[in-house]
Amino acid sequence: MNIIERAMLGRSPLPREELASVPAGDAPAPRSLDSMIERAAVIAKPEPSRVNPPKRTQHSTVLDFDRLRAMGMLVPDARRSQIKEEYRHIKRPLLMNAAGKGATLAEHANLIMVTSSRPGEGKTFTACNLALSIAAERDRTVLLVDADVIKPSLAKTLGFEAGRGLVDLLIDEQIELADVLVDTNVPSLTVLPAGSAHHLSTELLASENMRKLAVEMSNRYSDRIIVIDSPPLLVTTEASVLATLAGQIVMVVEASRTHQSQVQEALALLDSNQIVGFVLNKAQRVLGADYYGYGYGYGYGYGYGYGYGADQREGTEE
Ligand SMILES: Nc1ncnc2c1ncn2[C@@H]1O[C@H](COP(=O)(O)OP(=O)(O)O)[C@@H](O)[C@H]1O
Ligand SMILES: [Mg+2]
């Protein structure tokens, strides 16, 4: 049994519909009631016009949806896709928790940190898709923050040239949040890029300024979801300090590459009371009828109840 299975078995049983994993590449869209409902909802409620998005910041960019789609990413159009379906399952418990309707009440639950144990597992991919998926919801606004100051790649992934951002905000008190935000042609999605390279950039993540900024973002925009693309937990200690600021953690695990001991080590760096959900990324398995009988049966699950008690973190079964 792997760590994810064990962690989840320690909680209340997971409803089948909350299990999801993100396959690498294209896969046929599953037939399910949820996907039909999603389709019906899109027809019933046309998405807001992308023409002339309101200018709230000094910067804006136009995301190239065809390019994002070609990268296997989620785009906010009316088309049905496997990735949209996957992310509906991923975002649902996060949104419930953010609205205070989840099984767990967490402070700053609208601050969602996307992390992993190692680089390259798909944090940026997941953070972007999650943000795009949430932004497609009616009455939801999303701020997508690149806090992976070690290897910033949010702007590049989304396809725009970033200027100043988080690091500049943390080192220069003259700069305000609105000065460095980038609006997009998804009206409800705003991006905060990582900003300038700085020799103390990782230290800045654990700074008092970062804490104040996180509280400001969470409180000032309490109806907004803030998705934070973060450094890997096992690479820098500042990532776990950053994690203490977030109300919810999404732990990306690269299917078949990440060692269970690495996941366990990363989990041990998090506060045991934190809400932690898993995304099993680049899985070969697709969401379908048989959740349990293929490879990592429990690809993805949310921490119903509380995070991981010390007892659940002990011992590795590989
Ligand atoms: N589910 C997926 N399907 C296809 N490509 C993926 C998937 N997840 C990640 N990738 C690709 O893998 C590479 C590493 O992902 P990335 O999100 O940059 O990792 P990290 O941010 O954790 O370092 C990127 O090229 C990304 O586009
Ligand atoms: Mg990244």
In tens, the pLDDT along 170-190 reads 999 999 999 999 999 999 999
Inform me whether the pLDDT recorded for 313 exceeds 60.
no
Instruction: Note whether residue 48 is domain-resident.
Output: no
Note the pLDDT tens digit of each residue in 121-165. 999 999 999 999 999 998 899 999 999 999 999 999 999 999 999
Closest ligand, as measured to the CA of 149: 2
Domain count, the chain: 1
Mean pLDDT throughout 284-293?
Answer: 42
- In the reported structure, the alpha carbon of residue 193 is separated from the centroid of ligand 2 by a whole-number distance in angstroms of 12
Instruction: Note whether residue 72 is domain-resident.
Output: yes
Query: Looking at 25-34, 153-162, 270-279, which range is the least confident one?
Result: 25-34
125, 153, 234, 256: residue to mutate for ligand 1 pocket, most atoms within 8 A of CB: 125
Inform me whether the pLDDT recorded for 37 exceeds 80.
no
Inform me whether the pLDDT recorded for 281 exceeds 70.
yes
- In the reported structure, the alpha carbon of residue 106 is separated from the centroid of ligand 2 by a whole-number distance in angstroms of 26
Closest C-alpha residue for ligand 1 atom 14? 120
Closest C-alpha residue for ligand 1 atom 12? 122
Inform me whether the pLDDT recorded for 27 exceeds 50.
no
Instruction: Note whether residue 271 is domain-resident.
Output: yes
Inform me whether the pLDDT recorded for 278 exceeds 50.
yes
Which residues lie with the beta carbon below 6 Å from any ligand 1 atom?
22, 24-25, 71-72, 116, 119-125, 153, 281-282
Instruction: Note whether residue 147 is domain-resident.
Output: yes
Instruction: Note whether residue 106 is domain-resident.
Output: yes
CATH at residue 303? 3.40.50.300
Give the whole-number percent of the chain exceeding pLDDT 90: 57
Query: Looking at 3-17, 85-99, 228-242, which range is the least confident one?
Result: 3-17
- In the reported structure, the alpha carbon of residue 121 is separated from the centroid of ligand 2 by a whole-number distance in angstroms of 8
Instruction: Note whether residue 318 is domain-resident.
Output: no
For residues 100 and 80, give the distance between their C-alpha atoms in angstroms, rounded to a whole number: 29
- In the reported structure, the alpha carbon of residue 4 is separated from the centroid of ligand 1 by a whole-number distance in angstroms of 20
pLDDT at residue 132, as a whole number:
97
Structural domain that includes position 127: 3-41+56-313
Instruction: Note whether residue 186 is domain-resident.
Output: yes
pLDDT at residue 47, as a whole number:
42
pLDDT at residue 138, as a whole number:
87
- In the reported structure, the alpha carbon of residue 157 is separated from the centroid of ligand 2 by a whole-number distance in angstroms of 9
Instruction: Note whether residue 49 is domain-resident.
Output: no
Closest C-alpha residue for ligand 1 atom 27? 125
pTM exceeds 0.85 for this model: no
- How many Cβ atoms sit within 10 Å of the Cβ of residue 105? 11
Handedness of CA 177, 149, 213, 106 (dihedral sign): positive
